């Protein structure tokens, strides 16, 4: 597994986990996007957003210098499914099901998609359905609770 060339890179959790989730869904022919990068979105689609929470006070041993370092965080991964009522809303429940199914498989979070990080645990934490009347859109947010980790061999060799 690769070693990062700089310290800030390994802390860019969103820049790695969100595109990895988009890529995982694309493998199932699901149109997904990173929410903060999207402009004009067609339906059906899935917006992906990672929210990083507190450090869980887990210490890993850095391969680069043998020191202990905080390496694990709680996170929330949200999938906002959007369909157009009367046009493609029949795909709504299928999208929820495919996301639930795919996220159960930890092997999809591999080193190709996450070279410096790993998913330690992913558990569905709920679904929030909504209706946006002015645009005739149905939206469901399927949320997962994660524990994410920096791989021990990803730490840069040099200090800041």
- The domain of 83 spans 7-154
Reduced to 3 states, what is the DSSP secondary structure of residue 88?
Answer: coil
> At 60, phi and psi to the nearest 5?
-110, 160
Q: State the pLDDT at residue 126.
A: 93
Inform me whether the pLDDT recorded for 160 exceeds 60. Answer: no
Coil, helix or strand at residue 39: coil
The reply to whether 122 falls in a domain is yes
Residue 2 lies in a domain: no
Q: Cα dist. 82→20, 35, 50, 51, 158 in Å?
A: 20, 12, 18, 20, 45
- The CATH code of the domain that includes 118 is 3.30.70.1700
Q: What is the pLDDT of residue 1?
A: 64
Helix ranges (H only) for the chain are 7-10, 13-26, 92-103
More confident residue, 25 or 90: 25
In a domain, 95, yes or no: yes
pLDDT given at position 59: 86
Distance CA 88, CA 2 (A): 42
- Does residue 1 fall inside a structural domain? no
**Within a domain: residue 160?**
no
pLDDT at 155: 84
- How many domains is the chain partitioned into structurally? 1
Residue spans of beta strands (DSSP E) within the chain: 32-34, 45-55, 59-61, 68-70, 72-84, 117-132, 137-150
Q: Is 159 a residue whose pLDDT tops 70? A: no
Residue 53 — very low, low, confident or very high, per pLDDT cuts 50/70/90? very high
- Supply the DSSP symbol for 134: G
pLDDT of residue 36: 78
Task: Look at residue 159 and tell me if it is in a domain.
Answer: no
Mean pLDDT of the chain: 89
Q: Could you read off the pLDDT of 72-86 as tens digits, one per residue? A: 999 999 999 999 888
């Amino acid at each position: 597994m690769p070693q990062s060339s700089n310290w800030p890179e390994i802390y860019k959790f969103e820049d790695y986990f969100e595109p990895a989730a988009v890529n995982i869904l694309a493998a199932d022919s699901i149109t997904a996007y990173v929410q903060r990068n999207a402009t004009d979105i067609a339906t059906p689609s899935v917006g992906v957003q990672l929210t990083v929470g507190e450090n869980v006070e887990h210490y890993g041993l850095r391969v680069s210098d043998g020191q202990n370092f905080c390496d694990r965080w709680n996170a929330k991964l949200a999938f906002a499914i959007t369909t157009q009522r009367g046009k493609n809303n029949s795909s709504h429940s299928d999208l929820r099901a495919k996301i639930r199914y795919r996220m159960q498989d930890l092997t999809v979070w591999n080193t190709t998609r996450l070279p410096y990080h790993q998913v330690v645990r992913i558990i569905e934490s709920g679904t929030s359905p909504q209706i946006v009347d002015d645009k005739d859109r149905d939206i469901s947010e399927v949320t997962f609770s994660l524990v994410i980790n920096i791989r021990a061999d990803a730490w840069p060799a040099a200090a800041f």
